[in-house]
Chain A
Amino acid sequence: MSDTPIKKLNFKELASQLLPEGASFDSCLTCGLCSSGCPASGLENMDPRKFIRMAMLGMDEELSKTPWVWMCTQCKRCQHVCPMDIDIAQLVFAARSNWPKELKPSGIVRSCELTRSTSSTSAMGLPPEDFVFVVQDVLEEVRELQPQFKDMVAPMDKKGAFFFVNQNSREPMSEPDEMVPLWKIFNLVGADWTYSSKGWAAENFCMFSGDEEAWHQVIQQRVDAVNELGCRVWLNTECGHSYYTMWNAINRFGMEADFELANLVTYYARWIREGKLPVNADWNTAGLKFTVQDPCQIVRKAYGDEIAEDMRFVTKSLVGEENFIDMQPNRSANYCCGGGGGFLQAGMTDQRRIYGRRKFDQIAATGARYVLTPCHNCHSQMEDIGDHYGGGYHVVHFWTLICLSLGILGENERAYLGPELAALGL
């Protein structure tokens, strides 16, 4: 670390600007519910209640410098359990923003920089032409090897398509076959959709790095891309923070967006209800148990319990009602997995795993063999803590299970399934 000084913030003043509707630190009852319910409590001596106390006492110097702010995943669970609705994550964001770039965890900063390095807005820096190529390449292979899908499409830059579908960079970059199940689903329901060569990527770590301007710019590029193609609905892939950063930014920065934002989970549920996705649980003859992870970014921080209900409806349709076991707590009260807030990118592996211990215990208590989650960060984190603490469970995307249930999951599309499902239905 260099000697770059961290500017002193006035947290009390900040709070009066940031906290909505008269919620202030003064209303804090110092009850400790926030700290008790925060998985980061104790990391680097982090304590959300103390954060508030210190701000009240004007300990701005210490707060401006504390590494706590990088232990917090901005999951807003503290706010959810706080009787006074005090939003600590907002202050953490302000404190992060205030850190000079060279002192911030370099992994998060770098992810944000890469996002801005091409018009893809990909946090892995994948340029538009490479994305277009990979999509084309994979599509041709599927058409060739899976005759059932010889007419399948994966449109690019199709003007006026109903859905503008974004794509997490991880798939085109390192596991391209994982894109295919979703294409199959679109194909089956007859969705009018398109990818875009610009602004297609789903990640946005600029928000987590506390770089508001960069966050705004990235979202602007994405909004422009959707507006340009004239799509009706921006359909967010199975990713939490990409939804939240877009949705929140559009409101926060008052952007012109001529389209709706929607989440794949909502559409999975709708298509199943409408009979367009005739999934069932007949394949689960072994009675494999499943649980779901509610991503903070789309449940507690955005849609609330409505989408959580959809997720459970989809899950039960896929695995059988009796094979679904909820984690406790769940939905809006769920714990962050510990992969959010840029933790996975920040390089603080030990702390991240301690944070994730709570999630690990939650999963272990269900006894489930599989965890379903519509979020890439949750996915990676839960796999990692599962390996680290010896979980013996698998983490899967919804698209995998949907295609498995429909009997259309290809051989190369099963990277996340356990051995008992590796060959099912092939």
Chain B
Amino acid sequence: MKQNTRHIDTDLTIIGSGLAGVAASSFALRRNIRTAQAGNTGALAYTTGYFDLLGSLTGGSGASISDPWEGIRRLRESEPLHPLARIAEDDIRASFEEFITFLAECGITYGKPGDRNLDALTPGGTLKKTLSVPATMQAGVDAFARKAQCIIIDFKGLKGFSSRQIVANLKTDWPQLRHERISFPEIDQAEIYPEVLARALEVPANRAKLAEVVKGLATDAEAIGMPAVFGIHAPDRVMADLQDRIGRPIFEIPTMPPSVPGIRLRELFEQVFPQKGLTLIPQQKVVSTDLQANTIQLDLKDNYGPIHISSRAVILATGRFISGGLEAHMERITEPLFGLPVTQPASRDLWYRHQYMDNLGHDVHRAGIEVDEQFRPLDRDGKVVHHGLFGAGILLAHQDWIRGRCGAGIAVATAYKAVQAALSVLQPAAA
């Protein structure tokens, strides 16, 4: 039996389906670029749903910061090579705005990014500095700010979320907070994943049953918090309906992964990208590449067989170690797909500092590829590797996004810059 290779001829291919990859695709679609995307969803499904721009300055004490824009200005002095330090503030703002507008059009509303970080609730009952939260979580941020009379509910058997623990940790700051535990109607299993409850709440009849139970509990609460389970693909609608039935404001708090907000984002992109004309090869990794004069050739395969992509430009957004964008070998860290040089500590001994919790972080977490101001990867001599190859996201060197709480910021802003730069190659006149 013959197995035919499927050929895809396109202008731009985005490799990687983490936040940087999907943001890049959304920007490319907005600019009417013929786009294909391949790559495993990576860490996208693990997010809390919060979009952090910059939550702390990694060079110093690691304390959290309230004004991310001021933080970026300081980064320009202290860490000029940090990707966020290399992008103009206007571009960063524009990138967030455009991405959030895209998401809202597709069914998940986020709060408009402002000038200051928000204090958002975590599943552990701590607070986290972030720039923008999904609309389903906004009332929690507001309630905390006002220290309003609130109740947080959890469900028997639900993994990764304890309302009692959250309340215990927040009690000092937020004395008016209570907790309750209830059984989720008609689901009685020893262990329940949030995803299961979120799917169930897509059905109006199940929302009605839950609302009945919750109504009885929360007679004096100004707002009611629950784990993030307000549906998967139309959370705003599910929340509005549930809120109507319960009769008072409700909000979500992220759960531990695998959490619903991450699954929401992944499914949203899998859904809307093909509808908007993007060629999506979901969950498959590019296995080999070939740089030619005017195109970049990519090979991969899915369950059905081999696929060959010929693309005029490529954005590499493959992330770091977990998603395979970087590989750690005994002696060195490599970039496996294009063999790009990786900036890294001089030897493995220097990957980690002695103290795991060292405030300065670990140098291995700053490893990555070098790019020029057009976000084109550079070779060992500092020369552009290929005029059509761009890099975006946490694959870029000189940042520790976990400690800096700037993962979304780097992903979205660098994707924006990379797409703009790709556009100028693809349509010199338009850009």
Shortest CB–CB separation between residue B344 and chain A, in angstroms? 22
Residues of B within 8 A of A81 (CB): 41, 45, 266
Docked-complex contact A329 and B195, CB < 8 angstroms: no
A31 touches B257 (CB 8 A): yes
B233/A329 in contact, CB under 8 A:
yes
Q: Which residue of the partner chain, among A251, A305, A331, A365, contacts B1 with CB atoms under 8 Å?
A: A251
Chain A residues, Cβ within 8 Å of B40: 83-85
Q: Which of A32, A304, A358 contacts B199 (CB 8 A)?
A: A358
In the complex, chain A residues whose CB is within 8 Å of the CB of B193: 32, 35-36, 41
Knowing A302-B303, A328-B267, say if A32 contacts B258 (CB, 8 Å): yes
B394 to chain A, nearest CB (A): 15
Closest residue of A by beta carbon distance from B307: A304
Which of the residues A33, A303, A306 comes within 8 Å of B258, measured between beta carbons? A33
- Is B203 interfacial (CB-CB < 8 Å)? yes
Given A260-B2, A301-B303, also A32-B233 (CB < 8 A): no
Q: State the CA gap A332–B302 with chains docked (Å).
A: 12
Q: Does B322 contact A (CB under 8 A)?
A: yes
CB-nearest residue of chain B to A365: B202
Query: Once the chains are docked, how many angstroms separate the CA of A332 from the CA of B3?
Result: 21
CB pair B271–A304 under 8 Å, yes or no, is no
* Cβ-based interface call for A333 (8 A): yes
The residue in A37, A260, A309 that gathers the most chain B C-beta atoms within 10 A of its C-beta is A37
Query: Bound state CA distance, A361 and B205, in angstroms?
Result: 10
A422 within 8 A of partner (CB): no
Q: Is the CB of A332 within 8 A of B282?
A: yes
**Which B residues are in CB contact (< 8 Å) with A301?**
303
B235 to chain A, nearest CB (A): 12
Least CB distance from B108 to A in Å reads: 13
B200 within 8 A of A: yes
Known: A83-B40, A83-B43. A304 touches B203 (CB 8 A): no
The complex places the Cα of A329 from the Cα of B267 at a distance, in Å, of: 7
Residues of chain A with a CB closer than 8 A to B195's CB: 36-37
A359 CB to nearest B CB, Å = 10
* CB under 8 Å from chain A, chain B span 200-253: 200, 202-203, 205-206, 232-233
Residues of B within 8 A of A306 (CB): 304
Given contacts A80-B283, A83-B45, A250-B1, contact A304 B304 (CB under 8 A): yes
Asked if B323 contacts A83 (CB within 8 A), the reply is yes
Decide yes or no whether A352 CB sits under 8 A from chain B. Answer: no
Chain A residues in 8 Å Cβ range of B46: 31
Q: Is B402 an interface residue (CB 8 A)?
A: no
| Residue ID in chain A nearest B238 by CB atoms | A365
Taking the complex as formed, is A257 at the interface, i.e. its CB lies under 8 A from any CB of chain B?
Answer: yes
Inter-subunit contact A83/B41 (CB<8 Å) = yes
Residues of B contacting A37 in the complex (Cβ-Cβ under 8 angstroms): 195, 258, 263
A42 at the interface (CB under 8 A from B): yes
* Smallest CB separation, A385 vs chain B (Å): 13
Q: In the complex, which of the residues B159, B200, B271 contacts A330, with contact meaning CB atoms closer than 8 Å?
A: B271
Min CB distance A35 to B, Å, is 7
A303 lies within 8 A of B45 (CB): no
How many Å from the CB of B238 to the closest CB on chain A?
10
Interface string of A73-90 (1 = CB under 8 A from B): 000000011011100000
A32 and B203 in contact, given A260-B2, A328-B232, A329-B267 (Cβ under 8 angstroms)? no
Quick check: A328 and B1 within 8 Å, CB to CB?
A: no
Q: Is B190 an interface residue (CB 8 A)?
A: yes
Closest to A234 in B: B1
A266 to chain B, nearest CB (A): 12
Closest to B200 in A: A361
When A35-B193, A42-B191, A361-B202 are in contact, do A305 and B42 touch as well, CB less than 8 Å?
no
A379 within 8 Å of B by Cβ?
Answer: no
In the complex, which of the residues A36, A309, A328, A333 has the most CB atoms of chain B within 10 Å of its own CB atom? A36
Check A29 for interface membership: any CB of B closer than 8 A: yes
Interface status of B270 (Cβ within 8 A of chain A): yes
The reply on A114 being an interface residue by CB < 8 A is no
Among B1, B203, B303, which residue has its beta carbon within 8 angstroms of that of A260? B1
Interface residues of A (CB under 8 A from B): 21, 29, 31-33, 35-37, 41-42, 45, 47, 80-81, 83-85, 250-251, 255, 257, 259-261, 300-306, 309, 328-333, 358, 361-362, 364-365
Nearest 6 A/B pairs, CB to CB: A36-B193, A365-B202, A36-B258, A328-B233, A257-B1, A36-B195
> Beyond A80-B283, A330-B271, A333-B267: 4 further Cβ-contacts under 8 Å?
A83-B40, A328-B271, A358-B196, A365-B203
> 28 A-B Cβ contacts within 8 A?
A29-B322, A32-B159, A33-B257, A33-B263, A35-B193, A36-B194, A36-B196, A37-B258, A42-B189, A42-B192, A83-B41, A83-B42, A83-B45, A84-B40, A85-B40, A250-B1, A251-B3, A255-B1, A259-B1, A302-B303, A305-B274, A305-B282, A309-B274, A328-B232, A331-B270, A332-B270, A358-B199, A362-B202
